[in-house]
Structure 1
Amino acid sequence: MKELDRMAGKPGMRAVNLGDTIGGRDYVFEPEFAPVLARCEELGYPLVFHNMNTDPFGKRPAGPGLDAAFTHAILGAKFIGSGTLDKYPKLEIVLPHAGGAFPYCAGRVEHFMYHMGANAGRTTPPHTFKEYLRRFHYDYLTYRPEGLRFLIDLVGADRIVVGTDSFNAKDIEYPSAVVEQFNFQAVDRDRILKGNAMRLLHL
Protein backbone atom coordinates (compact mmCIF):
# COMPACT_ATOMS: atom_id res chain seq x y z
CA MET A 1 0.00 0.00 0.00
CA LYS A 2 2.82 2.37 0.83
CA GLU A 3 4.43 1.82 -2.57
CA LEU A 4 1.11 2.24 -4.35
CA ASP A 5 0.49 5.56 -2.63
CA ARG A 6 4.04 6.69 -3.37
CA MET A 7 3.65 6.02 -7.09
CA ALA A 8 0.04 7.15 -7.48
CA GLY A 9 -0.31 9.94 -10.00
CA LYS A 10 3.31 9.90 -11.14
CA PRO A 11 4.04 10.13 -14.89
CA GLY A 12 3.76 6.76 -16.60
CA MET A 13 1.90 5.11 -13.71
CA ARG A 14 -1.14 3.58 -15.40
CA ALA A 15 -1.62 0.07 -13.99
CA VAL A 16 -0.50 -2.37 -11.29
CA ASN A 17 1.22 -5.62 -12.24
CA LEU A 18 0.66 -8.48 -9.79
CA GLY A 19 1.54 -12.13 -9.52
CA ASP A 20 -1.31 -14.58 -9.11
CA THR A 21 0.15 -15.99 -5.89
CA ILE A 22 2.91 -15.28 -3.40
CA GLY A 23 4.52 -18.37 -1.93
CA GLY A 24 1.48 -20.39 -2.91
CA ARG A 25 -0.91 -18.05 -1.06
CA ASP A 26 -4.00 -16.57 -2.70
CA TYR A 27 -3.05 -13.22 -1.22
CA VAL A 28 -5.34 -11.26 -3.55
CA PHE A 29 -8.40 -12.67 -1.79
CA GLU A 30 -7.09 -12.32 1.77
CA PRO A 31 -8.62 -9.59 3.96
CA GLU A 32 -5.23 -7.94 4.41
CA PHE A 33 -5.06 -7.19 0.69
CA ALA A 34 -8.52 -5.61 0.48
CA PRO A 35 -7.23 -2.04 1.02
CA VAL A 36 -4.95 -2.41 -2.00
CA LEU A 37 -7.84 -3.50 -4.21
CA ALA A 38 -9.96 -0.64 -2.94
CA ARG A 39 -7.16 1.87 -3.56
CA CYS A 40 -6.58 0.60 -7.11
CA GLU A 41 -10.29 0.91 -7.80
CA GLU A 42 -10.25 4.45 -6.41
CA LEU A 43 -7.23 5.43 -8.52
CA GLY A 44 -8.59 3.78 -11.65
CA TYR A 45 -5.53 1.55 -12.01
CA PRO A 46 -6.25 -1.77 -13.74
CA LEU A 47 -4.68 -4.90 -12.27
CA VAL A 48 -2.59 -6.91 -14.72
CA PHE A 49 -1.88 -10.44 -13.50
CA HIS A 50 0.84 -12.86 -14.46
CA ASN A 51 1.43 -16.38 -13.21
CA MET A 52 4.26 -16.82 -10.71
CA ASN A 53 4.32 -20.62 -10.55
CA THR A 54 6.49 -21.24 -13.60
CA ASP A 55 6.62 -25.04 -13.43
CA PRO A 56 3.30 -26.40 -12.12
CA PHE A 57 3.40 -29.50 -14.32
CA GLY A 58 6.96 -30.55 -13.67
CA LYS A 59 9.71 -30.45 -16.25
CA ARG A 60 7.68 -31.43 -19.28
CA PRO A 61 7.78 -29.87 -22.74
CA ALA A 62 4.17 -28.64 -22.62
CA GLY A 63 4.53 -27.01 -19.22
CA PRO A 64 5.51 -23.49 -20.31
CA GLY A 65 2.42 -23.17 -22.49
CA LEU A 66 0.00 -24.53 -19.91
CA ASP A 67 1.05 -22.86 -16.67
CA ALA A 68 -0.48 -19.48 -17.54
CA ALA A 69 -3.52 -21.07 -19.16
CA PHE A 70 -4.70 -22.86 -16.04
CA THR A 71 -3.47 -20.24 -13.60
CA HIS A 72 -5.67 -17.61 -15.24
CA ALA A 73 -8.65 -19.95 -15.34
CA ILE A 74 -8.40 -20.48 -11.59
CA LEU A 75 -7.80 -16.79 -10.92
CA GLY A 76 -10.78 -15.67 -12.98
CA ALA A 77 -13.10 -18.16 -11.29
CA LYS A 78 -11.90 -17.07 -7.84
CA PHE A 79 -12.55 -13.42 -8.61
CA ILE A 80 -16.15 -14.34 -9.38
CA GLY A 81 -16.77 -17.00 -6.73
CA SER A 82 -15.19 -15.00 -3.91
CA GLY A 83 -17.45 -12.02 -4.53
CA THR A 84 -14.45 -9.77 -5.18
CA LEU A 85 -15.87 -8.44 -8.45
CA ASP A 86 -19.09 -7.51 -6.66
CA LYS A 87 -17.24 -5.82 -3.81
CA TYR A 88 -15.21 -3.69 -6.23
CA PRO A 89 -17.57 -2.99 -9.15
CA LYS A 90 -15.26 -0.47 -10.85
CA LEU A 91 -12.05 -2.47 -10.50
CA GLU A 92 -10.52 -3.31 -13.89
CA ILE A 93 -8.67 -6.63 -14.28
CA VAL A 94 -6.55 -7.84 -17.19
CA LEU A 95 -6.06 -11.57 -17.75
CA PRO A 96 -3.16 -11.94 -20.19
CA HIS A 97 -2.55 -14.91 -22.47
CA ALA A 98 -6.09 -14.37 -23.79
CA GLY A 99 -7.43 -15.36 -20.38
CA GLY A 100 -5.71 -18.73 -20.61
CA ALA A 101 -8.18 -21.59 -20.30
CA PHE A 102 -10.74 -19.42 -18.53
CA PRO A 103 -12.87 -18.45 -21.56
CA TYR A 104 -12.89 -22.01 -22.88
CA CYS A 105 -13.86 -23.44 -19.47
CA ALA A 106 -16.41 -20.69 -18.81
CA GLY A 107 -19.45 -22.85 -19.48
CA ARG A 108 -18.27 -25.51 -17.07
CA VAL A 109 -17.41 -22.97 -14.38
CA GLU A 110 -20.80 -21.33 -14.84
CA HIS A 111 -22.65 -24.64 -14.52
CA PHE A 112 -20.92 -25.62 -11.30
CA MET A 113 -21.09 -22.12 -9.81
CA TYR A 114 -24.73 -21.41 -10.58
CA HIS A 115 -26.39 -24.83 -10.67
CA MET A 116 -24.29 -27.36 -8.80
CA GLY A 117 -23.33 -24.72 -6.26
CA ALA A 118 -26.95 -23.82 -5.55
CA ASN A 119 -27.77 -27.48 -5.04
CA ALA A 120 -24.91 -27.72 -2.55
CA GLY A 121 -26.20 -24.75 -0.57
CA ARG A 122 -23.62 -22.24 -1.81
CA THR A 123 -24.67 -18.69 -2.62
CA THR A 124 -25.27 -18.01 -6.30
CA PRO A 125 -23.50 -14.89 -7.63
CA PRO A 126 -25.90 -11.94 -8.08
CA HIS A 127 -25.03 -11.23 -11.73
CA THR A 128 -25.04 -13.38 -14.83
CA PHE A 129 -21.86 -15.23 -15.68
CA LYS A 130 -21.68 -13.36 -18.98
CA GLU A 131 -21.57 -10.08 -17.08
CA TYR A 132 -18.69 -11.36 -14.98
CA LEU A 133 -16.78 -12.55 -18.05
CA ARG A 134 -17.03 -9.03 -19.42
CA ARG A 135 -15.63 -7.57 -16.22
CA PHE A 136 -12.23 -8.83 -17.34
CA HIS A 137 -10.04 -7.62 -20.16
CA TYR A 138 -8.13 -10.18 -22.23
CA ASP A 139 -5.15 -9.76 -24.52
CA TYR A 140 -5.31 -11.40 -27.94
CA LEU A 141 -2.48 -13.91 -27.59
CA THR A 142 -4.30 -17.03 -28.69
CA TYR A 143 -1.71 -17.84 -31.40
CA ARG A 144 -4.56 -19.27 -33.48
CA PRO A 145 -7.28 -17.25 -35.25
CA GLU A 146 -9.92 -19.77 -34.15
CA GLY A 147 -9.10 -19.02 -30.52
CA LEU A 148 -9.35 -15.28 -31.01
CA ARG A 149 -12.66 -15.63 -32.82
CA PHE A 150 -14.05 -17.69 -29.95
CA LEU A 151 -12.87 -15.11 -27.41
CA ILE A 152 -14.41 -12.22 -29.33
CA ASP A 153 -17.70 -14.09 -29.73
CA LEU A 154 -17.70 -14.79 -25.99
CA VAL A 155 -16.79 -11.40 -24.48
CA GLY A 156 -16.89 -8.89 -27.34
CA ALA A 157 -14.19 -7.02 -29.24
CA ASP A 158 -14.34 -4.16 -26.74
CA ARG A 159 -12.80 -6.39 -24.03
CA ILE A 160 -9.74 -7.45 -26.07
CA VAL A 161 -6.48 -5.52 -25.70
CA VAL A 162 -3.12 -5.61 -27.42
CA GLY A 163 -0.56 -8.06 -26.06
CA THR A 164 2.72 -9.65 -27.00
CA ASP A 165 4.87 -12.59 -26.02
CA SER A 166 7.40 -11.62 -28.69
CA PHE A 167 10.26 -11.39 -26.21
CA ASN A 168 10.31 -15.18 -25.94
CA ALA A 169 7.92 -16.61 -28.54
CA LYS A 170 9.42 -16.97 -32.00
CA ASP A 171 6.19 -17.75 -33.84
CA ILE A 172 4.68 -14.27 -33.60
CA GLU A 173 6.65 -11.89 -35.78
CA TYR A 174 4.93 -8.75 -34.52
CA PRO A 175 2.25 -8.12 -31.89
CA SER A 176 -0.67 -7.56 -34.25
CA ALA A 177 -0.05 -10.67 -36.40
CA VAL A 178 -2.99 -12.69 -35.11
CA VAL A 179 -5.35 -9.73 -35.53
CA GLU A 180 -4.23 -9.19 -39.12
CA GLN A 181 -5.54 -12.67 -39.99
CA PHE A 182 -9.10 -11.38 -39.66
CA ASN A 183 -11.11 -9.16 -41.93
CA PHE A 184 -12.23 -7.00 -39.03
CA GLN A 185 -14.32 -3.92 -39.50
CA ALA A 186 -12.10 -0.88 -39.05
CA VAL A 187 -13.75 0.07 -35.76
CA ASP A 188 -13.11 -3.35 -34.17
CA ARG A 189 -9.55 -3.53 -35.49
CA ASP A 190 -8.75 -0.10 -34.06
CA ARG A 191 -10.35 -1.02 -30.74
CA ILE A 192 -8.30 -4.18 -30.36
CA LEU A 193 -4.98 -2.77 -31.53
CA LYS A 194 -5.22 0.58 -29.77
CA GLY A 195 -8.51 1.97 -28.54
CA ASN A 196 -9.36 -0.55 -25.82
CA ALA A 197 -5.94 -0.27 -24.19
CA MET A 198 -6.00 3.53 -24.36
CA ARG A 199 -9.40 3.60 -22.69
CA LEU A 200 -8.29 1.10 -20.05
CA LEU A 201 -5.14 3.09 -19.25
CA HIS A 202 -6.84 6.50 -19.47
CA LEU A 203 -4.58 7.67 -22.29
Structure 2
Amino acid sequence: MIVDAHNHVIPAAIVRYLAENEEPFGVRVDRSGAATRLAHREGFAYPLFEEFLTPAEKLAQLDRRGLDAALISPSPTLFFYRIDPAVETAFARRVNDEIAAFAASAPNRLRPMGTLPMQSPDHALAELERITGELGIRSIMIGCHIDGAALSEPKFRPVLRRAAELGVLILTHPYYFGTKPGLEKYYLTNLVGNPLDTAVMAADLIFGGVMDELPDLKVCLSHGGGFIPYQIGRLVHGQKVRREAQSIESSPKELLKRFYFDSITHDAGALAYLIDLVGAAHVLLGTDIPFDMADETPLRTLDAVPGLSVEDRANITGRNAWRLTGA
Protein backbone atom coordinates (compact mmCIF):
# COMPACT_ATOMS: atom_id res chain seq x y z
CA MET A 1 0.00 0.00 0.00
CA ILE A 2 1.05 3.55 -0.72
CA VAL A 3 0.36 5.47 2.49
CA ASP A 4 0.50 9.22 3.03
CA ALA A 5 1.65 9.65 6.63
CA HIS A 6 1.22 13.45 6.75
CA ASN A 7 -2.24 14.36 5.51
CA HIS A 8 -4.59 16.84 7.20
CA VAL A 9 -8.32 17.07 7.79
CA ILE A 10 -10.70 19.53 9.41
CA PRO A 11 -13.97 17.56 9.63
CA ALA A 12 -17.07 19.51 8.62
CA ALA A 13 -18.52 19.16 12.13
CA ILE A 14 -15.47 20.96 13.54
CA VAL A 15 -15.91 23.82 11.09
CA ARG A 16 -19.54 24.16 12.17
CA TYR A 17 -18.51 24.12 15.82
CA LEU A 18 -15.92 26.87 15.30
CA ALA A 19 -18.46 28.93 13.36
CA GLU A 20 -20.85 28.72 16.31
CA ASN A 21 -18.14 29.35 18.93
CA GLU A 22 -15.85 32.10 17.68
CA GLU A 23 -14.56 32.65 21.18
CA PRO A 24 -12.33 31.57 22.80
CA PHE A 25 -10.75 30.15 19.64
CA GLY A 26 -10.62 33.40 17.68
CA VAL A 27 -11.56 31.67 14.44
CA ARG A 28 -14.30 32.69 12.05
CA VAL A 29 -15.62 31.17 8.87
CA ASP A 30 -15.13 33.74 6.09
CA ARG A 31 -17.49 33.28 3.16
CA SER A 32 -16.94 36.73 1.64
CA GLY A 33 -14.67 35.61 -1.19
CA ALA A 34 -14.75 33.00 -3.92
CA ALA A 35 -13.65 30.30 -1.49
CA THR A 36 -14.76 29.72 2.09
CA ARG A 37 -11.85 30.22 4.46
CA LEU A 38 -11.03 29.81 8.12
CA ALA A 39 -9.66 33.14 9.37
CA HIS A 40 -7.71 33.34 12.64
CA ARG A 41 -7.39 36.45 14.76
CA GLU A 42 -3.59 36.14 14.52
CA GLY A 43 -3.94 37.27 10.91
CA PHE A 44 -3.72 34.13 8.80
CA ALA A 45 -6.44 32.39 6.82
CA TYR A 46 -6.67 29.43 4.46
CA PRO A 47 -9.26 27.92 2.12
CA LEU A 48 -11.50 25.15 3.38
CA PHE A 49 -11.00 22.69 0.56
CA GLU A 50 -13.61 19.97 0.42
CA GLU A 51 -10.77 17.48 0.96
CA PHE A 52 -10.40 18.85 4.49
CA LEU A 53 -14.06 18.33 5.22
CA THR A 54 -15.44 15.07 3.87
CA PRO A 55 -14.22 11.47 3.58
CA ALA A 56 -15.58 11.04 0.05
CA GLU A 57 -13.46 13.91 -1.28
CA LYS A 58 -10.43 12.80 0.72
CA LEU A 59 -10.64 9.36 -0.87
CA ALA A 60 -11.19 10.83 -4.33
CA GLN A 61 -8.06 12.95 -3.96
CA LEU A 62 -6.03 9.98 -2.74
CA ASP A 63 -7.11 8.13 -5.87
CA ARG A 64 -6.20 11.09 -8.08
CA ARG A 65 -2.68 11.18 -6.63
CA GLY A 66 -2.11 7.41 -6.76
CA LEU A 67 -2.18 7.00 -2.99
CA ASP A 68 -3.90 4.00 -1.41
CA ALA A 69 -4.28 5.24 2.15
CA ALA A 70 -3.49 8.03 4.60
CA LEU A 71 -2.91 8.74 8.25
CA ILE A 72 -5.27 11.67 8.68
CA SER A 73 -4.31 14.26 11.27
CA PRO A 74 -5.97 17.48 12.40
CA SER A 75 -4.72 20.68 10.83
CA PRO A 76 -2.00 22.22 13.03
CA THR A 77 -4.06 25.41 12.95
CA LEU A 78 -6.34 23.59 15.41
CA PHE A 79 -3.70 23.67 18.15
CA PHE A 80 -5.19 26.06 20.71
CA TYR A 81 -2.55 25.85 23.42
CA ARG A 82 -3.23 29.41 24.62
CA ILE A 83 -6.77 28.90 25.83
CA ASP A 84 -8.13 27.51 29.09
CA PRO A 85 -7.05 23.85 29.46
CA ALA A 86 -10.55 22.62 30.23
CA VAL A 87 -11.92 24.29 27.09
CA GLU A 88 -9.06 22.98 24.95
CA THR A 89 -9.54 19.49 26.40
CA ALA A 90 -13.20 19.47 25.39
CA PHE A 91 -12.27 20.73 21.93
CA ALA A 92 -9.48 18.17 21.45
CA ARG A 93 -11.89 15.43 22.49
CA ARG A 94 -14.38 16.65 19.90
CA VAL A 95 -11.68 16.80 17.21
CA ASN A 96 -10.48 13.28 18.03
CA ASP A 97 -13.98 11.86 17.92
CA GLU A 98 -14.66 13.49 14.55
CA ILE A 99 -11.37 12.33 13.04
CA ALA A 100 -12.05 8.79 14.26
CA ALA A 101 -15.48 8.92 12.61
CA PHE A 102 -13.94 10.35 9.43
CA ALA A 103 -11.49 7.44 9.26
CA ALA A 104 -14.16 4.86 10.15
CA SER A 105 -15.90 5.62 6.86
CA ALA A 106 -13.04 3.84 5.06
CA PRO A 107 -11.06 1.89 7.69
CA ASN A 108 -8.89 0.08 5.16
CA ARG A 109 -7.74 3.37 3.65
CA LEU A 110 -7.84 5.96 6.44
CA ARG A 111 -6.28 5.77 9.89
CA PRO A 112 -6.98 8.47 12.46
CA MET A 113 -4.28 10.54 14.13
CA GLY A 114 -5.43 12.31 17.27
CA THR A 115 -4.21 15.33 19.20
CA LEU A 116 -3.83 16.27 22.87
CA PRO A 117 -4.47 19.38 25.00
CA MET A 118 -0.78 19.67 25.79
CA GLN A 119 -0.96 22.87 27.87
CA SER A 120 -2.28 20.61 30.64
CA PRO A 121 -0.21 17.41 30.90
CA ASP A 122 -2.82 15.85 33.20
CA HIS A 123 -5.58 16.46 30.68
CA ALA A 124 -3.29 15.30 27.86
CA LEU A 125 -2.58 12.04 29.65
CA ALA A 126 -6.27 11.40 30.21
CA GLU A 127 -7.08 12.07 26.55
CA LEU A 128 -4.20 9.86 25.42
CA GLU A 129 -5.61 6.99 27.46
CA ARG A 130 -9.10 7.63 26.09
CA ILE A 131 -8.23 7.75 22.41
CA THR A 132 -6.01 4.67 22.54
CA GLY A 133 -8.48 2.70 24.65
CA GLU A 134 -11.84 3.81 23.28
CA LEU A 135 -11.05 4.91 19.72
CA GLY A 136 -8.11 2.66 18.88
CA ILE A 137 -6.00 5.62 17.76
CA ARG A 138 -2.31 4.71 17.59
CA SER A 139 -0.78 8.06 16.58
CA ILE A 140 -1.03 11.69 17.65
CA MET A 141 0.06 15.05 16.31
CA ILE A 142 1.29 17.76 18.68
CA GLY A 143 3.15 21.05 18.31
CA CYS A 144 6.93 21.41 18.24
CA HIS A 145 6.45 23.56 21.33
CA ILE A 146 3.49 24.22 23.55
CA ASP A 147 3.01 27.95 23.04
CA GLY A 148 6.67 28.54 23.86
CA ALA A 149 7.17 25.71 26.37
CA ALA A 150 9.68 23.10 25.15
CA LEU A 151 8.58 19.48 24.93
CA SER A 152 11.71 18.57 26.89
CA GLU A 153 10.38 20.34 29.99
CA PRO A 154 9.86 17.89 32.88
CA LYS A 155 6.14 18.61 33.05
CA PHE A 156 5.62 16.98 29.64
CA ARG A 157 7.72 13.89 30.40
CA PRO A 158 4.78 11.81 31.73
CA VAL A 159 2.90 12.33 28.46
CA LEU A 160 5.88 11.35 26.34
CA ARG A 161 6.64 8.39 28.59
CA ARG A 162 3.09 7.07 28.40
CA ALA A 163 3.05 7.48 24.62
CA ALA A 164 6.25 5.44 24.48
CA GLU A 165 4.76 2.74 26.71
CA LEU A 166 1.66 2.55 24.52
CA GLY A 167 3.70 2.46 21.32
CA VAL A 168 1.98 5.59 20.02
CA LEU A 169 3.65 7.43 17.13
CA ILE A 170 3.96 11.18 17.74
CA LEU A 171 4.04 13.40 14.66
CA THR A 172 5.43 16.75 15.74
CA HIS A 173 4.33 19.73 13.70
CA PRO A 174 5.31 23.41 13.86
CA TYR A 175 2.89 25.42 15.98
CA TYR A 176 1.80 27.97 13.40
CA PHE A 177 0.27 31.07 14.95
CA GLY A 178 1.09 34.15 12.92
CA THR A 179 4.40 35.59 11.76
CA LYS A 180 7.69 35.15 13.62
CA PRO A 181 9.98 38.11 14.35
CA GLY A 182 12.38 38.72 11.49
CA LEU A 183 10.54 36.32 9.19
CA GLU A 184 7.64 38.51 8.14
CA LYS A 185 8.75 38.93 4.51
CA TYR A 186 8.44 36.46 1.65
CA TYR A 187 6.40 33.94 3.67
CA LEU A 188 9.59 33.12 5.60
CA THR A 189 7.49 32.37 8.69
CA ASN A 190 6.65 29.09 6.99
CA LEU A 191 9.50 28.65 4.50
CA VAL A 192 12.20 29.08 7.16
CA GLY A 193 10.38 29.37 10.49
CA ASN A 194 8.57 26.04 10.39
CA PRO A 195 11.62 23.87 9.62
CA LEU A 196 13.58 25.90 12.17
CA ASP A 197 10.99 25.11 14.85
CA THR A 198 11.38 21.40 14.10
CA ALA A 199 15.17 21.59 14.23
CA VAL A 200 15.17 23.44 17.56
CA MET A 201 12.71 20.97 19.09
CA ALA A 202 14.66 17.90 17.93
CA ALA A 203 17.98 19.31 19.17
CA ASP A 204 16.37 20.12 22.51
CA LEU A 205 14.96 16.58 22.85
CA ILE A 206 18.45 15.27 22.11
CA PHE A 207 20.50 17.52 24.40
CA GLY A 208 17.74 17.59 27.01
CA GLY A 209 18.15 13.84 27.54
CA VAL A 210 14.64 12.88 26.44
CA MET A 211 15.75 10.56 23.64
CA ASP A 212 18.19 8.82 26.00
CA GLU A 213 15.66 8.54 28.81
CA LEU A 214 12.84 7.20 26.62
CA PRO A 215 14.40 4.74 24.16
CA ASP A 216 10.99 3.49 23.01
CA LEU A 217 9.67 6.96 22.18
CA LYS A 218 8.52 7.18 18.55
CA VAL A 219 8.71 10.77 17.31
CA CYS A 220 8.27 11.66 13.65
CA LEU A 221 9.65 15.01 12.51
CA SER A 222 7.65 16.92 9.90
CA HIS A 223 9.03 18.32 6.65
CA GLY A 224 12.01 16.00 6.40
CA GLY A 225 13.16 16.91 9.91
CA GLY A 226 13.43 20.61 9.21
CA PHE A 227 17.05 21.73 9.12
CA ILE A 228 18.48 19.29 11.66
CA PRO A 229 19.45 16.32 9.46
CA TYR A 230 21.52 18.59 7.25
CA GLN A 231 23.37 20.24 10.17
CA ILE A 232 23.79 17.20 12.44
CA GLY A 233 27.57 17.44 12.05
CA ARG A 234 27.41 20.84 13.70
CA LEU A 235 25.66 19.34 16.74
CA VAL A 236 28.23 16.56 16.94
CA HIS A 237 31.09 19.07 16.74
CA GLY A 238 29.43 21.35 19.28
CA GLN A 239 29.17 18.50 21.78
CA LYS A 240 32.92 18.00 21.48
CA VAL A 241 34.02 21.61 21.90
CA ARG A 242 31.30 23.35 23.93
CA ARG A 243 30.63 22.59 27.58
CA GLU A 244 27.02 23.73 27.22
CA ALA A 245 26.39 20.91 24.72
CA GLN A 246 27.97 18.20 26.87
CA SER A 247 24.69 17.47 28.62
CA ILE A 248 24.51 13.89 27.32
CA GLU A 249 26.99 11.11 26.69
CA SER A 250 25.33 9.70 23.59
CA SER A 251 26.22 10.98 20.14
CA PRO A 252 23.66 13.46 18.77
CA LYS A 253 24.01 11.75 15.40
CA GLU A 254 23.03 8.37 16.82
CA LEU A 255 20.11 9.88 18.71
CA LEU A 256 18.94 11.66 15.56
CA LYS A 257 18.60 8.26 13.93
CA ARG A 258 16.05 7.32 16.59
CA PHE A 259 13.56 9.81 15.14
CA TYR A 260 11.28 9.12 12.20
CA PHE A 261 10.94 11.58 9.33
CA ASP A 262 8.37 12.31 6.68
CA SER A 263 9.61 12.66 3.12
CA ILE A 264 8.53 16.28 2.58
CA THR A 265 11.80 17.87 1.45
CA HIS A 266 10.65 19.04 -2.02
CA ASP A 267 14.04 17.95 -3.33
CA ALA A 268 15.16 14.46 -4.33
CA GLY A 269 18.77 15.19 -3.40
CA ALA A 270 17.82 16.22 0.12
CA LEU A 271 15.57 13.19 0.45
CA ALA A 272 18.36 10.90 -0.75
CA TYR A 273 20.67 12.33 1.91
CA LEU A 274 18.02 11.87 4.60
CA ILE A 275 17.42 8.23 3.67
CA ASP A 276 21.15 7.56 3.63
CA LEU A 277 21.57 9.24 7.02
CA VAL A 278 18.76 7.63 9.03
CA GLY A 279 17.85 4.57 6.96
CA ALA A 280 14.76 3.73 4.95
CA ALA A 281 13.08 2.19 8.01
CA HIS A 282 12.82 5.67 9.53
CA VAL A 283 11.38 7.61 6.59
CA LEU A 284 7.63 7.80 5.86
CA LEU A 285 6.03 9.09 2.69
CA GLY A 286 4.25 12.38 3.38
CA THR A 287 2.54 15.20 1.53
CA ASP A 288 1.14 17.87 3.93
CA ILE A 289 -1.97 17.88 1.74
CA PRO A 290 -4.13 19.90 1.24
CA PHE A 291 -2.03 22.95 2.18
CA ASP A 292 -0.23 24.87 -0.55
CA MET A 293 3.18 23.84 0.83
CA ALA A 294 2.35 20.18 0.19
CA ASP A 295 4.38 17.84 -1.99
CA GLU A 296 1.63 17.01 -4.49
CA THR A 297 3.81 14.39 -6.21
CA PRO A 298 5.63 12.55 -3.40
CA LEU A 299 6.10 9.38 -5.44
CA ARG A 300 7.80 11.35 -8.20
CA THR A 301 10.15 12.90 -5.63
CA LEU A 302 10.94 9.47 -4.20
CA ASP A 303 11.43 7.92 -7.64
CA ALA A 304 14.10 10.53 -8.36
CA VAL A 305 16.20 9.23 -5.44
CA PRO A 306 18.98 7.15 -7.04
CA GLY A 307 19.82 3.61 -5.98
CA LEU A 308 16.74 2.99 -3.84
CA SER A 309 16.05 -0.73 -3.48
CA VAL A 310 12.61 -2.23 -4.00
CA GLU A 311 12.51 -3.13 -0.31
CA ASP A 312 13.48 0.36 0.85
CA ARG A 313 10.92 1.95 -1.44
CA ALA A 314 8.19 -0.34 -0.11
CA ASN A 315 9.09 0.55 3.47
CA ILE A 316 9.03 4.29 2.80
CA THR A 317 5.87 4.30 0.71
CA GLY A 318 3.71 2.44 3.17
CA ARG A 319 5.06 -0.34 5.34
CA ASN A 320 6.66 1.98 7.88
CA ALA A 321 3.51 4.04 8.43
CA TRP A 322 1.24 1.00 8.70
CA ARG A 323 3.67 -0.83 11.01
CA LEU A 324 4.13 2.14 13.35
CA THR A 325 0.40 2.81 13.70
CA GLY A 326 -0.96 -0.73 13.74
CA ALA A 327 -2.75 -2.27 16.69
Residue matched to 1:67:
193
Q: Is the 8 A contact 2:235 2:252 kept in 1?
A: no
| SS of alignment partner, residue 133 of structure 2 | coil
Deviation (angstroms), 1:121: 6.8
| SS of alignment partner, residue 187 of structure 1 | helix
In structure 1, the gaps of 5 or more residues are none
Residues 102-121 of structure 1 correspond to what in structure 2 (within 5 A)?
Answer: 102-113=228-239, 115-117=240-242, 120=243
Residues 115-130 of structure 1 correspond to what in structure 2 (within 5 A)?
Answer: 115-117=240-242, 120=243, 123-130=246-253
Residues 79-94 of structure 1 correspond to what in structure 2 (within 5 A)?
Answer: 79-94=205-220
Deviation (angstroms), 1:131: 1.8
In structure 2, the gaps of 5 or more residues are 1-124
1:75-115 superposed Cα distances (whole Å, 9 cap, x missing partner): 111011000011111011000100010101111111112x1
RMSD of aligned alpha carbons? 2.0
Decide which moves more: 140-149 or 171-180. Answer: 171-180
Residue matched to 1:148:
271
Q: Output the CA distance in 2 between the equivalents of 1:16 and 1:126.
A: 29
Q: Is the 8 A contact 2:138 2:169 kept in 1?
A: yes
Residue matched to 1:158:
281
Amino acid aligned to 1:78 = D
Residue matched to 1:195:
319
CA distance 1:18–1:171, change in 2 (3 Å):
closer
Q: Is the 8 A contact 1:73 1:105 kept in 2?
A: no
Q: Could you state the TM-score of these two structures normalised by the residue count of structure 2?
A: 0.57
Q: Output the CA distance in 1 between the equivalents of 2:156 and 2:129.
A: 14
Q: Output the CA distance in 1 between the equivalents of 2:234 and 2:220.
A: 21
Q: Is the 8 A contact 1:17 1:49 kept in 2?
A: yes
| SS of alignment partner, residue 135 of structure 1 | coil
Q: Output the CA distance in 1 between the equivalents of 2:256 and 2:299.
A: 23
Match of 1:174 among 273, 279, 297: 297
CA distance 1:111–1:122, change in 2 (3 Å):
closer
Match of 1:96 among 216, 222, 225: 222
Deviation (angstroms), 1:12: 4.5
| SS of alignment partner, residue 73 of structure 1 | helix
Residue matched to 2:153:
30
| SS of alignment partner, residue 186 of structure 2 | coil
Amino acid aligned to 1:61 = Y
Residue matched to 1:78:
204
Larger Rg: 2
Q: Output the CA distance in 1 between the equivalents of 2:309 and 2:245.
A: 43
CA distance 1:169–1:31, change in 2 (3 Å):
same
Amino acid aligned to 2:267 = R
Q: Output the CA distance in 1 between the equivalents of 2:185 and 2:244.
A: 39
Q: Is the 8 A contact 2:269 2:305 kept in 1?
A: no
Q: Output the CA distance in 2 between the equivalents of 1:21 and 1:12.
A: 26
Match of 2:183 among 40, 53, 58: 58
Of all paired residues, the percent bearing the same amino acid is 32
Q: Is the 8 A contact 1:49 1:94 kept in 2?
A: yes
Amino acid aligned to 2:184 = K
Q: Could you state the TM-score of these two structures normalised by the residue count of structure 1?
A: 0.89
Amino acid aligned to 2:317 = L
Q: Is the 8 A contact 2:236 2:251 kept in 1?
A: no
Q: Output the CA distance in 2 between the equivalents of 1:176 and 1:151.
A: 16
Pick the structure with more strand per residue. 2
Deviation (angstroms), 1:58: 3.4
